[in-house]
Chains A and B, each alone.
Chain A
Amino acid sequence: MSDPSVPPAGGAPTSARGPGGSIYDLGYQAYTGPRLGRRSAVVALFTQTLRSSFGIGRGGRAKIAPFTLAALAILPAVLAVGFASLAAQAGAGGSLSDASPIRYETYSGLVGVLIMLFCAAQAPELFGRDQRYGVLPLYFSRVLTRSDYAVAKIGGLMAALFLVVVVPYVVLFVGRVLVAPDPVTGLTNELGQVPRFTLQALLVAGLLGGLASLIAAWTPRRAYATAAIIAVFIIPPIIVAIVGSLTNQDLARAIVLFSPGDVLDGSNAAIFGSIPDSQVVAALDLAGWVYVGAVAVEIAASVGLTVRRYLRIAA
């Protein structure tokens, strides 16, 4: 697909001379080859955002925070697998891995804080830098539309979060399969968990990524964005906990769906068929699908609002 505004074929370089001055020929030639188009641009921005989320391509110091947090998130899974295999060798077998506090259904609660810190560390870099350095006009004057830009960026962050969340689950899964008496029974036992943890990982990545994107897109200054993201993640559960400890549960039910940590806690419980980590959430006794539905709605809302921000931003 060639650009119609450019004269066809690589013609000979020209110079113009007039009585008052000269235009020097520097050998500039317009590019007339094939152009990849909008879809490639979006994919390119998506991959670049995904890589930047881990600091790849940005020098050593940018990798410290994301890799440390991701490593800490995997650590419990590795430890659990390690202990389980040692126990299996000693003969204790499956009972130990079930008794361990590090299981599929408890993992989300264990590493939740790390994922939130990952968002607070990386989202301001991904969304704030382009705004602070004024490069948005460069993006928007390309074939990429404003909403493409927003979606690609959000997608990149969500994909990165998904990786950080799902890999520990996969480690647990593989570990359990290998530790089982024989791989086939292990596989059949554990296979049912795969869609469960994948869904929970999608919900976590979607909700936390969406909210972090929204806040970071609205707050170009890094310090404010980081503080605001953390505030939004850790303060609502505290409010819910306090309100929930009162006798009047209706108020708590009303606000629990606006607390990201609690909503994900509820969806985790619904998906794995377990009890929510937070006693308050458990006491509220809302149906599981309510939480899952709430997460879906909130993801859509945060993506929509972020896109709206970029549609209206001055650039």
Chain B
Amino acid sequence: MTEPTGLPAATSAAPPNPNAALEVDHVSRWYGNVVAVNDISFALGAGVTGLLGPNGAGKSTLLHLLAGLLAPSAGRVLVGGQSAWRRPAMYRQIGLVPEREAVHPYLTGLGFARLNAQLQGLPDPDAAAARAIAIVDLTEAAGRPIGTYSKGMRQRAKLAGALVHDPRVLLLDEPFNGLDPRQRLHMMALLRSMAAEGRTILFSSHILEEVERVADSVLVLYAGRLAAAGDFRSIRRLMTDRPHTFTVSSSDDRHLAAALMADASVFGAELMGGRLAIRTADYDAFTRALPQIARANAVTLFEVAPTDDSLESVFSYLVRR
């Protein structure tokens, strides 16, 4: 399983990496003045990779570029070593599960899978469709029109359609959107098992926990740029190593502030209009120390809130690095 590379490459075009199922080389895509994807490079092999980023980061645009549904404004997008744009033959190896809800509502689940199989030119579309439906666990409802499906079932129908031709590469745009916990677990298990068979899977999400559970490696996108790439745990550590700020409201702010400054994990405390703002470098240690210190000094804590824990602040921190 190859690690995704997030290092800035040399300015001259590198030869395509034969080991990489998906490769993106200094790719940018803009619409007039708006840059949706800004100079991104990476190469992916077998395994599950999560594309993480807040809404508007360019995840969908990147997936559509990889799926040959958008032309890159600059750079190259390569699937299996060859350009993704304007090469319909590529679709034999690639499956896409788009984000948009729209599926032909009058087709049954099985009918939709069969249509995809026929359009793929498979020799036995019925068998392929039945197999795909079984993989996504939709056999019971496969005879009903998709218009009657719940959101989770519709996602699975779309996935079945993308699996009929047994693609080597699978691209999923926000596949966990709107799924309930049980369906989410099922989808995660599915992705993991398919990756174990040697497929390259890239899925997008804006929820950290989802990516954490499924992906071996992660690509973090923010405002069109690649903010981080690589093993998830190391990135997580990077993200938690940054300075944190907390807002605390207690029965005796000043006393608490003095006590906290004595602790090694705290490097700043500030009284601000009825509240206490604490700056700490060590998230884990601080969250353990705070209640103990408060109790030891007979101070009651009313409110403890991290003030910059949003994904946006995390990403912007990463990007500034």
Contact, chains A and B (beta carbon distance below 8 A): yes
B-contacting residues of A (Cβ < 8 Å)? Answer: 17, 22, 24
Give Cα distance in the complex from A205 to B303, angstroms. 63
Give Cα distance in the complex from A17 to B249, angstroms. 12
Give Cα distance in the complex from A22 to B302, angstroms. 9
Interface of chain B residues 263 through 303 with chain A (CB within 8 A) = 302-303
Interface SS of B by simple majority: strand
Can you list 4 A-B pairs with a CB-CB distance of less than 8 A?
A17-B302, A22-B302, A22-B303, A24-B303
**Given the complex, which residues of A lie within 8 Å of B302, measured CB to CB?**
17, 22
Give Cα distance in the complex from A238 to B302, angstroms. 79
Give Cα distance in the complex from A24 to B304, angstroms. 12
Which chain B residue has the least Cβ–Cβ distance from A17? B302
| Closest CB pairs A-B (n = 4) | A22-B303, A17-B302, A22-B302, A24-B303
Which chain A residue has the least Cβ–Cβ distance from B303? A22
Give Cα distance in the complex from A24 to B302, angstroms. 11
Give Cα distance in the complex from A211 to B39, angstroms. 53
Give Cα distance in the complex from A24 to B303, angstroms. 10
The distance from the CB of B256 to the nearest CB of chain A, in whole angstroms, is: 18
Give Cα distance in the complex from A17 to B302, angstroms. 9
**Given the complex, which residues of B lie within 8 Å of A17, measured CB to CB?**
302
The distance from the CB of A223 to the nearest CB of chain B, in whole angstroms, is: 16
Give Cα distance in the complex from A279 to B302, angstroms. 88
Give Cα distance in the complex from A24 to B275, angstroms. 13
The distance from the CB of B230 to the nearest CB of chain A, in whole angstroms, is: 37
Which chain B residue has the least Cβ–Cβ distance from A22? B303
Give Cα distance in the complex from A22 to B249, angstroms. 12
Interface of chain B residues 75 through 94 with chain A (CB within 8 A) = none
The distance from the CB of A109 to the nearest CB of chain B, in whole angstroms, is: 43
Interface string of B173-205 (1 = CB under 8 A from A): 000000000000000000000000000000000
Give Cα distance in the complex from A22 to B250, angstroms. 13
Which chain B residue has the least Cβ–Cβ distance from A24? B303
Give Cα distance in the complex from A211 to B302, angstroms. 64
Give Cα distance in the complex from A24 to B307, angstroms. 14
Which chain A residue has the least Cβ–Cβ distance from B249? A22
Give Cα distance in the complex from A17 to B303, angstroms. 10
Give Cα distance in the complex from A22 to B303, angstroms. 8
Interface string of B1-29 (1 = CB under 8 A from A): 00000000000000000000000000000
**Given the complex, which residues of B lie within 8 Å of A22, measured CB to CB?**
302-303
The distance from the CB of A27 to the nearest CB of chain B, in whole angstroms, is: 13
The distance from the CB of A20 to the nearest CB of chain B, in whole angstroms, is: 13
Give Cα distance in the complex from A120 to B306, angstroms. 55
The distance from the CB of A239 to the nearest CB of chain B, in whole angstroms, is: 35
Give Cα distance in the complex from A299 to B302, angstroms. 66
The distance from the CB of A28 to the nearest CB of chain B, in whole angstroms, is: 18
**Given the complex, which residues of A lie within 8 Å of B303, measured CB to CB?**
22, 24
Give Cα distance in the complex from A222 to B302, angstroms. 55
Give Cα distance in the complex from A95 to B302, angstroms. 93
Give Cα distance in the complex from A17 to B301, angstroms. 13
The distance from the CB of B272 to the nearest CB of chain A, in whole angstroms, is: 15
Interface of chain B residues 237 through 251 with chain A (CB within 8 A) = none
The distance from the CB of B251 to the nearest CB of chain A, in whole angstroms, is: 12
The distance from the CB of B6 to the nearest CB of chain A, in whole angstroms, is: 37
Which chain A residue has the least Cβ–Cβ distance from B305? A24
Give Cα distance in the complex from A24 to B249, angstroms. 12
Interface string of B112-135 (1 = CB under 8 A from A): 000000000000000000000000
The distance from the CB of B34 to the nearest CB of chain A, in whole angstroms, is: 14
Give Cα distance in the complex from A37 to B302, angstroms. 43
Give Cα distance in the complex from A17 to B250, angstroms. 13
The distance from the CB of B102 to the nearest CB of chain A, in whole angstroms, is: 14
The distance from the CB of B307 to the nearest CB of chain A, in whole angstroms, is: 13
The distance from the CB of B246 to the nearest CB of chain A, in whole angstroms, is: 15
Give Cα distance in the complex from A17 to B300, angstroms. 14
